[in-house]
Amino acid sequence: MRPERLGWGFRLAVLWIVLVVGAALTADLLPLPDHDATLSGEPGTGPAPGHPLGTDGLGRDLLSRTVHGARVSLGVGLGAVLLGLLIGGPLGLLAGYRRGPLDRIVMTANDVLLAFPAMVFALAVVAFAGPSVRNVLIVLGLLGVPAWVRLIRGVTLSYGRREFVTAARALGARGRTVMWREIAPNVVPPALSYAFTLMAVVVIAEGALAFLGLSVQPPTPTWGGMINDGRSTLDTAAHIVVVPSAAMFLTVLALNLVGDRLQELTGHRPGGLEPARPRRRTAPPSAPVVHRDGPLLEVSDLRTAFATPRGPLHAVDGVSFALERGRTLAIVGESGSGKSVLIRSVLGLLPDTAERTGHARLGDRDLTGDTRGVLGTRMAAVFQDPMTALNPVRTIGTQVTEPLRVHLGMTRRRSREEAERLLASVGIPEPRRVLRSYPHQLSGGMRQRITIAMALSCDPEVLFADEPTTALDVTVQKQIMRLLHRQRDERDMAMVLVSHDLSVVADHADEVIVMYAGRAVEYGPTQAVFTAPRMRYTEALLRAVPDLSAPNHTRLAVIDGRPPDLVAPPSGCRFHPRCPFARDRCRSDEPPLTSHHDRSHACWYPAHEPEGAHHGR
């Protein structure tokens, strides 16, 4: 946060808050008359020597009483905010992170509490329990809990979908670790801004209760009580009301200004998929499984669906593949074709309530139940945006050494040395300095190299790279792809590469799966598929790649129409509404993924007919 972004209003507000808090804390040490000494001056007079803000109706010094009154107002404000945060913070964090039944219970209770008229409730409780600072603080603190729950839950939901959280989970971090180490530190900035705003509300509420005589009792001064004292002499000695009112007004204004400015500077934008709910299986029959000799990673009939208000969205619908050590499998397709959901399904990084069926196996380990113990060690992932794949509030060193200490049991010192070696191996200059940096101090390319180093830290057998170069400029893209390719060869690992860039796939992948509307529509060796595509969608996709050698003003080929609605996909071949070769059969019958030698395709009328194949026309 640069100082010039804060503005003068913010600085003045902070100055006022510091002044009031400082005065309240040191009130007994300041050279002020006793706040309760009656007739220390002429009653009800304005500013005079010895009484810069005048005296009240009993001749007590108004400045002294205002300063001592700040203790109550700010003390209750701070105490109530902390009490609300202490209860609402963990509840919101748990509800937002765990989701499911806990979230529903917490939020239902929260909504009920929010429906209570807060001030009436406070008046009733304080009147019943007796007017005292403690009772006022507890009541106002408890009344703030629902708002805290709502805020912290919202922020947690938002951050829970960020890539650095997924990346942490992909490195094997689970449950409480992710919640407290990855999400909680990011909740602090919005919570801090809200704390100021809420404190302003509490100061006003305490003032209102004091005005009604329901806060701390005389002789301790409070701003609300002072306003109440002066209202009978408003026409003759208005300053008795004006002084505490001005103190309260300026303090509330300053707290709101600071809260609003902090919110602007730390604002977050929720996003991501709707939470999914379990659904009954309604998907069409699965595609046949492709078997190969000795695959390291084997995925069979994988299906993943998310609940939407209109019904289940079939993001991945019966995909199967197998991958051997030392090879790269690319998954290509338009946005929304299910590429990323497919690899997150294999990695076990879906929301708890998403429905996933089918089988996945890594060597001798079944990945169907959960991927604990394998994620971050035998399988690792690199995600699209290095800006969000690293936790912004933790140093690079903390993030890179964590998997080394957690999974490999290294000491702090040893993990630091290993982290330096890892960063150097992915081409980062001055690794020792970089380990002390925060993500925002590094370029996009450097950040992506770091996420790769983190993914490789435990020597995985399979690396999943989800659009690893999309957020980078062209030169850096090539460097990152070369780095991934080199690491794959050096470590003899398998790589699953999700990309929409067909030139990257052509250069780096041995095999390719083409996905359309959640289904694998073509699968085979990259060179063969790209040279002689069979499925009409693959053909159209390849034609849409810009040809840099084409003459100027050559019209770019595009695929007409839009990807289908995955809640209600078209009948028959899902590509038929956009396919210029579609016939009646395409509209009524779904083409199965049929295999011929080392290739498979799902098309009734393929562009290049496999030898000896006959679908019947």
Q: Which residues bind ligand SF4 (CB under 6 A)?
A: 535-537, 573, 575-576, 579, 581-582, 586, 591, 603-605
Which candidate, 333, 277, 337, 284, places its Cα nearest to that of 305? 277
Inter-CA distances, 391 with 88, 174, 235, 471, Å: 24, 15, 59, 17
Question: Residue 347's CB: how many other CB atoms inside 10 A?
Answer: 24
Q: Of 496 and 586, which has the nearer Cβ to ligand SF4?
A: 586
Q: Of 160 and 591, which has the nearer Cβ to ligand SF4?
A: 591
Whole-number Å distance between alpha carbons of 513 and 497: 10
H or E stretch covering 596: strand 594-596
In whole angstroms, the minimum distance from the beta carbon of 580 to ligand SF4 comes to: 8
In whole angstroms, the minimum distance from the beta carbon of 155 to ligand SF4 comes to: 45
Cβ-Cβ contacts under 8 Å for 435 (sequence gap 6 or more): 395, 396, 397, 400, 416, 419, 420, 423
Whole-number Å distance between alpha carbons of 460 and 467: 19
In whole angstroms, the minimum distance from the beta carbon of 535 to ligand SF4 comes to: 6
Q: Of 207 and 564, which has the nearer Cβ to ligand SF4?
A: 564
Q: Of 167 and 579, which has the nearer Cβ to ligand SF4?
A: 579
Helix or strand or coil: residue 449?
helix
The one-character DSSP state at 26 is T
Q: How would you class 196 by CB atoms within 10 Å of its CB: exposed for 0-12, middle for 13-18, buried for 19 or more?
A: buried
In whole angstroms, the minimum distance from the beta carbon of 525 to ligand SF4 comes to: 20
Whole-number Å distance between alpha carbons of 383 and 198: 37
Q: Of 32 and 573, which has the nearer Cβ to ligand SF4?
A: 573
In whole angstroms, the minimum distance from the beta carbon of 533 to ligand SF4 comes to: 11
In whole angstroms, the minimum distance from the beta carbon of 519 to ligand SF4 comes to: 11
Contact 341, 305 (CB under 8 A): no
Q: Of 216 and 535, which has the nearer Cβ to ligand SF4?
A: 535
Whole-number Å distance between alpha carbons of 256 and 201: 9
The b-or-e profile of 78-105 (16+ CB within 10 A means b, else e) is: bbbbbbbbebbbebbbbbbbbbeeebee
In whole angstroms, the minimum distance from the beta carbon of 573 to ligand SF4 comes to: 3
Q: If you search the block for the tokens 């960063």, which residue do you land on?
A: 423
Q: Of 273 and 607, which has the nearer Cβ to ligand SF4?
A: 607
Contact 605, 581 (CB under 8 A): yes
Q: Of 438 and 581, which has the nearer Cβ to ligand SF4?
A: 581
Inter-CA distances, 608 with 15, 506, 535, 583, 587, Å: 75, 19, 8, 17, 21
Q: How many Cα atoms within 13 Å fall on the side-chain side of residue 303?
A: 21
Phi and psi torsions of 299, nearest 5°: -120, 135
In whole angstroms, the minimum distance from the beta carbon of 589 to ligand SF4 comes to: 9
Helix or strand or coil: residue 468?
coil
Which candidate, 155, 94, 173, places its Cα nearest to that of 399? 173
Helix or strand or coil: residue 208?
helix
Q: Of 225 and 591, which has the nearer Cβ to ligand SF4?
A: 591
Whole-number Å distance between alpha carbons of 474 and 26: 60
Q: Of 273 and 582, which has the nearer Cβ to ligand SF4?
A: 582
Q: Of 12 and 559, which has the nearer Cβ to ligand SF4?
A: 559
In whole angstroms, the minimum distance from the beta carbon of 286 to ligand SF4 comes to: 18
Q: Of 16 and 537, which has the nearer Cβ to ligand SF4?
A: 537
In whole angstroms, the minimum distance from the beta carbon of 594 to ligand SF4 comes to: 11
DSSP 302-328: EEEEEEETTEEEEEEEEEEEEE-TT-E
Q: Of 31 and 580, which has the nearer Cβ to ligand SF4?
A: 580
Q: Of 121 and 581, which has the nearer Cβ to ligand SF4?
A: 581
Q: Of 165 and 579, which has the nearer Cβ to ligand SF4?
A: 579
Cβ-Cβ contacts under 8 Å for 538 (sequence gap 6 or more): 514, 521, 522, 529, 601, 607
Whole-number Å distance between alpha carbons of 576 and 453: 43
Per residue, what are the HEC states of 236-270? CCCHHHHHHHHHHHHHHHHHHHHHHHHHHHHCCCC
In whole angstroms, the minimum distance from the beta carbon of 536 to ligand SF4 comes to: 3
In whole angstroms, the minimum distance from the beta carbon of 565 to ligand SF4 comes to: 17
In whole angstroms, the minimum distance from the beta carbon of 337 to ligand SF4 comes to: 14
In whole angstroms, the minimum distance from the beta carbon of 281 to ligand SF4 comes to: 25
Whole-number Å distance between alpha carbons of 606 and 610: 8
Q: How many Cα atoms within 13 Å fall on the side-chain side of residue 488?
A: 24
In whole angstroms, the minimum distance from the beta carbon of 271 to ligand SF4 comes to: 33
